[in-house]
Amino acid sequence: MDRSIWYALISMVFAGVTAVIAKAGMRNVSGDVALLVRTCLIFVLVWGNAFAFRQIKDMALLTTRDVLFLCLSGATTFFSWLFYYRAMKIGSVSVVATIDKASIVVTLVLSFLVLREPFTWRVALGGTFILCGLLVLVWK
Protein backbone atom coordinates (compact mmCIF):
# COMPACT_ATOMS: atom_id res chain seq x y z
CA MET A 1 0.00 0.00 0.00
CA ASP A 2 1.23 3.48 -0.89
CA ARG A 3 2.72 5.48 1.99
CA SER A 4 0.29 8.35 1.35
CA ILE A 5 -2.62 5.98 2.02
CA TRP A 6 -1.06 4.93 5.34
CA TYR A 7 -0.54 8.55 6.33
CA ALA A 8 -4.13 9.36 5.37
CA LEU A 9 -5.47 6.43 7.42
CA ILE A 10 -3.44 7.51 10.45
CA SER A 11 -4.72 11.06 9.95
CA MET A 12 -8.28 9.75 9.81
CA VAL A 13 -7.90 7.98 13.16
CA PHE A 14 -6.38 11.03 14.86
CA ALA A 15 -9.03 13.34 13.37
CA GLY A 16 -11.79 11.08 14.67
CA VAL A 17 -10.30 10.94 18.15
CA THR A 18 -9.66 14.70 18.09
CA ALA A 19 -13.34 15.58 17.72
CA VAL A 20 -14.43 13.51 20.70
CA ILE A 21 -11.59 14.72 22.94
CA ALA A 22 -12.24 18.34 21.95
CA LYS A 23 -15.94 18.09 22.78
CA ALA A 24 -15.07 16.60 26.17
CA GLY A 25 -12.60 19.43 26.81
CA MET A 26 -14.99 22.29 26.16
CA ARG A 27 -17.59 21.53 28.79
CA ASN A 28 -16.86 24.75 30.68
CA VAL A 29 -15.53 27.03 27.95
CA SER A 30 -16.61 28.40 24.59
CA GLY A 31 -15.56 26.80 21.34
CA ASP A 32 -13.36 29.83 20.70
CA VAL A 33 -11.38 29.33 23.93
CA ALA A 34 -11.08 25.61 23.22
CA LEU A 35 -9.72 26.44 19.77
CA LEU A 36 -7.23 28.90 21.29
CA VAL A 37 -5.81 26.29 23.68
CA ARG A 38 -5.66 23.64 20.96
CA THR A 39 -4.01 25.96 18.45
CA CYS A 40 -1.33 27.09 20.92
CA LEU A 41 -0.29 23.49 21.47
CA ILE A 42 -0.37 22.77 17.74
CA PHE A 43 1.89 25.79 17.15
CA VAL A 44 4.51 24.42 19.56
CA LEU A 45 4.26 20.87 18.21
CA VAL A 46 4.55 21.92 14.56
CA TRP A 47 7.66 24.02 15.23
CA GLY A 48 9.13 21.19 17.32
CA ASN A 49 8.45 18.73 14.51
CA ALA A 50 10.08 21.00 11.93
CA PHE A 51 13.22 21.31 14.06
CA ALA A 52 13.33 17.66 15.15
CA PHE A 53 13.16 16.38 11.59
CA ARG A 54 15.40 19.15 10.23
CA GLN A 55 12.71 20.46 7.89
CA ILE A 56 13.21 24.06 8.94
CA LYS A 57 15.87 24.39 6.23
CA ASP A 58 13.10 24.13 3.62
CA MET A 59 11.91 27.62 4.64
CA ALA A 60 14.55 29.00 2.28
CA LEU A 61 12.86 27.22 -0.62
CA LEU A 62 9.56 29.07 -0.20
CA THR A 63 8.60 31.42 -3.01
CA THR A 64 6.28 34.40 -2.67
CA ARG A 65 3.58 32.38 -4.44
CA ASP A 66 4.07 29.48 -2.02
CA VAL A 67 3.76 31.80 0.98
CA LEU A 68 0.65 33.42 -0.48
CA PHE A 69 -1.11 30.08 -0.99
CA LEU A 70 -0.01 28.74 2.39
CA CYS A 71 -1.26 31.91 4.09
CA LEU A 72 -4.59 31.57 2.26
CA SER A 73 -4.71 27.96 3.41
CA GLY A 74 -4.01 29.13 6.96
CA ALA A 75 -6.85 31.64 6.77
CA THR A 76 -9.31 29.06 5.47
CA THR A 77 -8.12 26.63 8.17
CA PHE A 78 -8.80 29.28 10.80
CA PHE A 79 -12.36 29.83 9.61
CA SER A 80 -12.94 26.08 9.27
CA TRP A 81 -11.74 25.42 12.82
CA LEU A 82 -13.53 28.45 14.23
CA PHE A 83 -16.93 27.36 12.97
CA TYR A 84 -16.21 23.66 13.62
CA TYR A 85 -15.53 24.34 17.29
CA ARG A 86 -18.54 26.63 17.60
CA ALA A 87 -20.72 23.93 16.03
CA MET A 88 -19.29 21.20 18.27
CA LYS A 89 -19.91 23.28 21.39
CA ILE A 90 -23.64 23.43 20.71
CA GLY A 91 -24.22 20.37 18.56
CA SER A 92 -23.73 16.64 18.44
CA VAL A 93 -20.15 15.64 17.62
CA SER A 94 -21.32 12.75 15.44
CA VAL A 95 -23.34 15.08 13.22
CA VAL A 96 -20.95 18.04 13.25
CA ALA A 97 -17.89 15.91 12.47
CA THR A 98 -19.70 14.12 9.66
CA ILE A 99 -20.78 17.38 8.07
CA ASP A 100 -17.23 18.73 8.46
CA LYS A 101 -15.73 15.63 6.85
CA ALA A 102 -18.15 16.03 3.96
CA SER A 103 -15.87 18.91 3.00
CA ILE A 104 -14.22 16.21 0.91
CA VAL A 105 -16.90 16.91 -1.70
CA VAL A 106 -15.71 20.53 -1.94
CA THR A 107 -12.12 19.29 -2.05
CA LEU A 108 -12.92 16.85 -4.87
CA VAL A 109 -14.60 19.47 -7.03
CA LEU A 110 -11.78 21.98 -6.49
CA SER A 111 -9.10 19.32 -7.10
CA PHE A 112 -10.64 18.66 -10.52
CA LEU A 113 -11.17 22.32 -11.43
CA VAL A 114 -8.10 23.99 -9.93
CA LEU A 115 -5.46 21.26 -9.72
CA ARG A 116 -6.62 19.37 -12.83
CA GLU A 117 -6.53 16.05 -10.97
CA PRO A 118 -8.14 13.13 -12.82
CA PHE A 119 -11.88 12.64 -12.50
CA THR A 120 -12.64 8.92 -12.20
CA TRP A 121 -15.85 6.99 -11.66
CA ARG A 122 -14.49 5.69 -8.33
CA VAL A 123 -13.84 9.20 -7.02
CA ALA A 124 -17.25 10.36 -8.28
CA LEU A 125 -19.01 7.39 -6.68
CA GLY A 126 -17.19 7.86 -3.37
CA GLY A 127 -18.00 11.57 -3.33
CA THR A 128 -21.64 10.79 -4.11
CA PHE A 129 -21.82 8.34 -1.20
CA ILE A 130 -20.32 10.94 1.14
CA LEU A 131 -22.84 13.53 -0.03
CA CYS A 132 -25.71 11.05 0.39
CA GLY A 133 -24.54 10.22 3.93
CA LEU A 134 -24.46 13.92 4.75
CA LEU A 135 -28.01 14.36 3.47
CA VAL A 136 -29.23 11.41 5.53
CA LEU A 137 -27.78 12.95 8.68
CA VAL A 138 -29.10 16.48 8.23
CA TRP A 139 -32.51 15.65 6.75
CA LYS A 140 -35.24 16.34 9.28
pLDDT tens sequence across 8-64: 999 989 998 999 999 999 999 999 999 999 999 999 999 999 999 999 899 999 999
What pLDDT score does 88 carry?
Answer: 93
Mean pLDDT, to the nearest integer, of 105-112?
93
Q: What percent of the chain clears pLDDT 90, i.e. is strictly above it?
A: 78
Helical residues (DSSP H) of the chain, grouped into ranges:
3-25, 31-52, 64-90, 93-101, 103-113, 121-138
Note down the domain range covering 140. 102-140
What pLDDT score does 6 carry?
Answer: 95
Range of weakest confidence among 10-19, 29-38, 111-120, 131-140: 131-140
**Is pLDDT of 124 > 80?**
yes
What pLDDT score does 33 carry?
Answer: 96
What pLDDT score does 140 carry?
Answer: 72
CA count, 13 A, side-chain hemisphere, 43: 8
Distances (CA, A) of 129 to 72, 74, 109, 122, 125: 29, 29, 14, 11, 6
- Whether 49 maps to a domain, the answer reads yes
- Total domains, the chain: 2
On whether both 49 and 79 belong to a single domain, the answer is: yes
On whether both 17 and 84 belong to a single domain, the answer is: yes
On whether both 11 and 46 belong to a single domain, the answer is: yes
Residue 76 pLDDT level (bands cut at 50, 70, 90): very high
- Whether 79 maps to a domain, the answer reads yes
- Whether 68 maps to a domain, the answer reads yes
* pTM (two decimals): 0.83
